[in-house]
Amino acid sequence: MTDQVPRDTRAWFADWANEYDTTLGKVRRHHAMLDLVVSRSGVRDGDRVLDIGCGTGLLSLKFLERADCGITAIDSSEKMLGIFREKIEQCHLSDRIHLEERSAEDMAFPSHYFDIVASTVALHHVKEKDPVIQKVYDILKDGGRFVLGDMDLDTTGDLEDPRRIERILQFLQKELALAMEDGGIPAFERMYDNGKKHILNEGEYCIGFDQWIQLCKDAGFLQVEVTPLKDLSGLKCWWRGGRVRMVPRWRSSKGISGLGFSPGSQKT
Ligand SMILES: C[S@@+](CC[C@H](N)C(=O)[O-])C[C@H]1O[C@@H](n2cnc3c(N)ncnc32)[C@H](O)[C@@H]1O
């Protein structure tokens, strides 16, 4: 079921799983993004929610703190799911969360099934994004919402283009500082290694939010909102981040909220 995910990517996350919650899981901005995703989703009691690339379950658990909803959580890493499964058992949440080892490229869910599809820092690992976004649109109910939290970082282009490398390094500079501040050396080291993968496009295929918006519009989403997550003086001030509100011409009742974070973002 996870054949479309490169072996290297799975090995990378298998290796990271045990340390995930004590590295990226310690970074306050990561939690700020997760909280914002949940809040922008407008989740309500009884909603059916899909978490794509759930990892150790940080996002899913925040959904459950907010509403009495039902979660389906998928991930291509058995190891990540193993950590999440332990949490589910410890918290007696097995009637609320259904886990599947499954890749984003292989979502065999019925059409019009979910009220909310959410994903945080997972879909940039998918190389061919169009079919995945089209599938997300298909499995959402009319009026449903796709909420994406990811980096507003365009790593496309010629690997050896110095401007591309500069662009990525500029982004990483802030990321690494935040990782060190909140998660210490272990978090810094993980994010540093991640950075190299971004530069070499090894299982990391980030695109900017302009590109995400286009993908979502092409898939048929009607209402697209992007809320940049600014730096962390912002934990209480997320909403100060400007918002780009777009209503494409065609009609559809489905919407997407995108939450991008980019230290140098000028969006207002
Ligand atoms: C950085 S973690 C994010 C985990 C969680 N969403 C969070 O925000 O804390 C990325 C997760 O995406 C998963 N992943 C990577 N590529 C995937 C794919 N093609 N399909 C499903 N999951 C994938 C990894 O196994 C990993 O658990």
* 123 Cα: distance to centroid of ligand 1 (angstroms): 7
pLDDT tens-digit profile of 99-125? 999 999 999 999 999 999 999 999 999
Question: Is 259 near ligand 1, meaning CB less than 6 Å away?
Answer: no
The C-alpha atoms of residue 109 and residue 85 are separated, in whole angstroms, by 21
Question: Is 12 near ligand 1, meaning CB less than 6 Å away?
Answer: no
Percent of the chain with pLDDT over 90: 74
Comparing CA positions, the residue from 61, 191, 62, 38 lying closest to residue 116 is: 38
Q: Which of 182-191, 225-234, 239-248 has the largest mean confidence?
A: 182-191
Decide if 175 contacts 264 (C-beta within 8 A). Answer: no
- pTM of the model as a whole: 0.88
Tokens describing residue 151: 């980096």
pLDDT tens-digit profile of 74-94? 999 999 999 999 999 999 999
Decide if 80 contacts 25 (C-beta within 8 A). Answer: no
- Domain for residue 190, yes or no? no
- Domain for residue 165, yes or no? no
- Domain for residue 246, yes or no? yes
Nearest atom of ligand 1 to the alpha carbon of 119: 6
Nearest atom of ligand 1 to the alpha carbon of 13: 25
pLDDT at 247: 29
The sheet with strand 48-52 has its strands ordered as: 97-101, 70-75, 48-52, 114-120, 140-151, 255-261, 223-226, 244-246
- Domain for residue 189, yes or no? no
The arithmetic mean of pLDDT across residues 10-37, rounded, is 92
pLDDT surpasses 50 at 59: yes
Distance of CA 249 to the CA centre of its chain: 27
- Max distance between CA atoms of the chain, in angstroms, equals 51
Question: Is 260 near ligand 1, meaning CB less than 6 Å away?
Answer: no
| Tokens 């989403």 sit on residue | 221
Comparing CA positions, the residue from 195, 133, 207 lying closest to residue 168 is: 195
- Domain for residue 249, yes or no? yes
Domain of 233, in residue numbers: 7-154+204-261
pLDDT at 239: 26
- Domain for residue 64, yes or no? yes
* 53 Cα: distance to centroid of ligand 1 (angstroms): 4
Decide if 53 contacts 74 (C-beta within 8 A). Answer: yes
- Domain for residue 199, yes or no? no
The tally of domains found in the chain comes to: 1
The arithmetic mean of pLDDT across residues 232-251, rounded, is 30
pLDDT tens-digit profile of 168-214? 999 999 899 999 999 999 999 999 999 999 999 999 999 998 999 99
pLDDT surpasses 80 at 1: no
Question: Is 124 near ligand 1, meaning CB less than 6 Å away?
Answer: no
pLDDT surpasses 80 at 265: no
Q: Kindly report the number of other CB atoms within 10 A of residue 6's CB atom.
A: 15
Q: What are phi and psi of 190, to 5 degrees?
A: -60, -45
* 190 Cα: distance to centroid of ligand 1 (angstroms): 15
Q: At what angle do helices 58-66 and 28-41 cross, to 10 degrees?
A: 50
Question: Is 194 near ligand 1, meaning CB less than 6 Å away?
Answer: no
Question: Is 5 near ligand 1, meaning CB less than 6 Å away?
Answer: yes
* 120 Cα: distance to centroid of ligand 1 (angstroms): 8
Tokens describing residue 229: 């997550």
**Residue 227 banded pLDDT, cuts 50, 70, 90:** confident
- Domain for residue 159, yes or no? no
* 126 Cα: distance to centroid of ligand 1 (angstroms): 10
Q: Closest Cα to atom 1, ligand 1: which residue?
A: 121
Nearest atom of ligand 1 to the alpha carbon of 80: 27
> Ligand 1 pocket test: which of 58, 79, 97, 121 has the largest number of ligand atoms within 8 Å of its C-beta?
121
The domain spanning residue 52 has which CATH number? 3.40.50.150
pLDDT at 255: 66
**Residue 262 banded pLDDT, cuts 50, 70, 90:** low
pLDDT surpasses 80 at 231: no
pLDDT at 260: 62
Comparing CA positions, the residue from 44, 73, 64, 218 lying closest to residue 137 is: 218
Tokens describing residue 90: 């410890």
3-state SS of the chain? CCCCCCHHHHHHHHHHHHHHCCCHHHCHHHHHHHHHHHHHHCCCCCCEEEEECCCCCHHHHHHHHHCCCEEEEEECCHHHHHHHHHHHHHCCCCCCEEEEECCHHHCCCCCCCEEEEEEECCHHHCCCHHHHHHHHHHHEEEEEEEEEEEECCCCCCCCCCHHHHHHHHHHHHHHHHHHHHHHHHHHHHHHHHHHHHHHHCCCCCCCCHHHHHHHHHHHCCCEEEECCCCCHHHHHCHHHCCCEEECCCCCCCCEEEEEEECCCCCCC
